[in-house]
Structure 1
Amino acid sequence: MGPADELLDPRRRDLIARLSRYMENPETDSIGWACLWFADLSTMEDLIKACEQNPPTVSRHISAALKKNDQRSQAIRAWASARSSEDSGEPSADEESDTEEPPTKKRRLTSDPCRAKELCEERDDEKCVLTGCTVPVEVVHIIPRSLGKGEEGLGDFWEALICYWSPENVSAWKEQVLDPDGVDTCSNLMCLVNVARRLWELAVFALKPLSLSEDKRQLEVQFYWLPMNRYRQTMPVTAIPSPFPHNLSSTNAGYTTVLCNIVTRSRISSGDIFTFKTDDPVGHPLPSMQLLNMQWILTRVLALSGAAWVTEEEEDQ
């Protein structure tokens, strides 16, 4: 298993080729292209069946949905920009005003940003979960805070995802993100050293969730460096992506950055497995498997498409 086995799947290549035959113009931008290469196979199969049953009407709809469009671009870029621009792990001024409430009441609010941050720091022992460093460590959101501020204004984000991922998957993600407790919960937070946080925001690496122990005290994730690609405005949907390297020990494309684990005194490399632990799965829960899975998929879309690096000017050219 590697960082992007989807790109090597012959069944996926066949489905994309079949789907392209129903498109009026089988081209899109690299964001739409990357979404297809990481989409749920069942979703693509459903699209093909719909085309076969009602070719003219559905083909026009599919062409419009899969070609370059602002809705999808804004949705994926919203994921990238939200992580980098506002996800500081610190509550805003408005949120800080809530601290005037009585302490007993405040402790009952599981979505209180300050309390969630404290719980995360206690769970992770104020250390970066990857490097083991204690300074400078930041509490970061797995899912950006802006995506958990209610459904209003985020309809385009979820609508864009439903074109590529099954309703079951999108509903599960949506339920977690829009949970009444919000995204400011311990299960949506991790401690990372500042450089690791920035690399994660830029989709330079991703964390693949592997397993959660039955008692929910241990969570295994796998680390993968991701290739740094350029955004492309136009490209065939059938273009075969280059496989993601599975043995990297640093960033690529001439921008060399490494992460080191201070315990093992070694570079963090693709394929390394990390075990996150908690002594209290109820009061200090581990990161959510559902949220990590959403992060795993969308971060790789960012990496393959180059969307994390593109400017609005480049996208509009």
Structure 2
Amino acid sequence: MEQAVEKLGAEGVDKILAAAMADPKAMFRFASDISPPAEPVQDYITEVDARRALFDEFRAICQPYYMDAPNATILALFMVAPLSEIRTLLQTIRETRLQPARHFAASVPTAILNEPGTPAPSDSVTRGQFSHQVKERDGHICVFSGMSDPAAAHIFPFATSKNRNFAYLNEMLAYFWDSKTSFTWRRMFESPAITQSAKNGISMSHQIHFWFDNARFALKPLRETPEGVVVQWHWLKRSILKPLVYVHPDHDILLQAGVTDHGQNWGDNLAHRKSGVTIRTGQTFLLRAEKPEDMPSWDLLEMQWNLLRIAAISGAADVTDDYYYDYTEPDERGYDQTVAAKQRAILAEHQ
């Protein structure tokens, strides 16, 4: 008990006491709710130094062709994609004198959100058979918060699968992932029978659904068990970069991208369970299904974990379609000043 009070702090205890006086049942719900189990949290990005060295090597290769390349999207890919595949790509470029194409970076990360120019699906579409199957499987509650009246969230976004323009995404997978993985993922998201089935859905509260669609958090698939798929919640760090901004070598690009944060936690603890218990990075959840064919797809979850991190690092989640089309100078694609200001404030507090 003493440890719990110390962790909450005086202000937190006061808030709980005030809530208990206003609603005695709230205190009971809070006390009786057992937080989801947490498991060790691995580094946000593994082998950062090796990845940065490979990115710098790619930058050097680009110089004769594009003075300002590469951009934030390529940086994000180098931070997330398998190191073995990045090394193979660079070796191929060196041996074949392949001109490093700028289309590596076009607008690939937004494929996991919405393809540019694709309108959001209407309510009449999202609340159809897919929505019914997902909510029915999950007992009509958010699997993370326990709240009722959830939304049926697509692991692979509906707007993208509806548009069925996978050129950028397929190209990215071919360059940065091995053939077996890219083929497996493509087989999943190119099939409407899968993307519009319960395999591609998770019941989430409307607020959590919004954060998921905007790459504020991602789900790391840990293992498959007889009971279901175990996923780990990760708040994603905010980046001041935007997908097409040029990444300059004299800047602290890893800090700007949210890869390094001088010891700060990943993101903000914004989500809560029905009782008020906070959902934090590292907590695990079991995605269940009575029928094996309704189980959320491991492959789509794995793909989501990779591409949402790319979207967060490159800043793709924070831009609109206009960003890709309505500009006259590259500098107009610039940094996210709001996020940059918050980042400076955090650093100032901890110096």
In which range does the TM-score fall when normalised by the shorter chain?
0.7 to 0.9
Long gaps (5+) in structure 1: 93-112, 252-256
4-13 or 45-54, which deviates more: 4-13
Residue number in structure 1 paired with 2:106: 73
Distance 1:312 1:144, change over 3 A: closer
* Equivalent in the alignment of 2:147: 133
Alignment of 1:93-242 (within 5 A): 114-135=128-149, 137-149=150-162, 153-179=165-191, 181-213=193-225, 215=226, 217-232=227-242, 233-236=245-248, 240-242=253-255
Q: Does the 8 Å CA contact 1:140/1:197 hold for their aligned counterparts?
A: yes
- Give the aligned partner of residue 120 of structure 2: 86
Q: Distance in 1 between matches of 2:115 and 2:323?
A: 19
Cα displacement (A) at 1:207:
0.6
Contact 1:231 1:310 in 2 (8 A): no
Change (3 A) 1:126 1:89: farther
> 1:313 deviation in Å?
4.7
SS at match of 1:235: coil
- Identity fraction in percent: 21
Taking a change above 3 Å as real, the CA distance of residues 310 and 7 of structure 1, as seen in their structure-2 partners, is farther
Residue 21 of structure 1: SS of its match in structure 2?
A: helix
The correspondence for 2:312, drawn from 299, 303, 315, is: 303
Which has the larger helix fraction?
Answer: 2
What is the match of residue 61 of structure 2?
22
C-alpha contact 1:148 1:178 (8 A) present in aligned 2:
yes
Report the Cα offset of residue 206 of structure 1: 0.7
**Deviation of the 1:121 alpha carbon:** 1.4
Counterpart residue type for residue 147 of structure 1: T
Shift of 1:87: 5.3
- Correspondence for 1:277 among 282, 285, 288: 288
- Residue of structure 1 in register with 2:22 after alignment: none
Q: Which amino acid aligns with 1:91?
A: V
Deviation, 1:45, is: 1.4
Please say if residues 247 and 253 of structure 2, whose CA atoms lie closer than 8 Å, have aligned partners that are also in contact: no
**Counterparts of 1:211 and 1:297 in 2: how far apart (Å)?**
16
* 2:119 and 2:159 in contact (8 A); partners too: no
Whole-Å separation in 1 of the counterparts to 2:200 and 2:47:
31
Cα 1:144–1:36 shift into 2, 3 Å: same
Contact 2:200 2:300 in 1 (8 A): yes
Q: Which amino acid aligns with 2:57?
A: R
Structure 1 residue 40 displacement after superposition: 1.9
Within 5 Å, which residues of 2 pair with 1:40-51?
A: 40-51=82-93
Alpha-carbon separation, structure 1, partners of 2:139 and 2:181: 32
Scaled by the length of structure 1, the TM-score of the pair is 0.76
**2:329 aligned with 1:287:** no
Query: What SS is found at the alignment partner of 1:274?
Result: strand
Shift of 1:10: 3.2
Unaligned stretches of 5+ residues in structure 2: 1-39, 333-351
- Measured in 2, the distance between the counterparts of 1:14 and 1:240 equals 13
TM-superposed CA distance for 1:52, in Å, is 3.7
User: SS of the residue aligned with 1:261?
Assistant: coil
Equivalent residues, number: 276
3-state SS of 1:91 partner: helix
Q: Which has the higher contact order (CA 8 A, sep 6+)?
A: 1
Q: Which amino acid aligns with 1:77?
A: T
Match of 1:38 among 73, 76, 80: 80
* Separation of aligned partners in 2, 1:157 and 1:302: 12
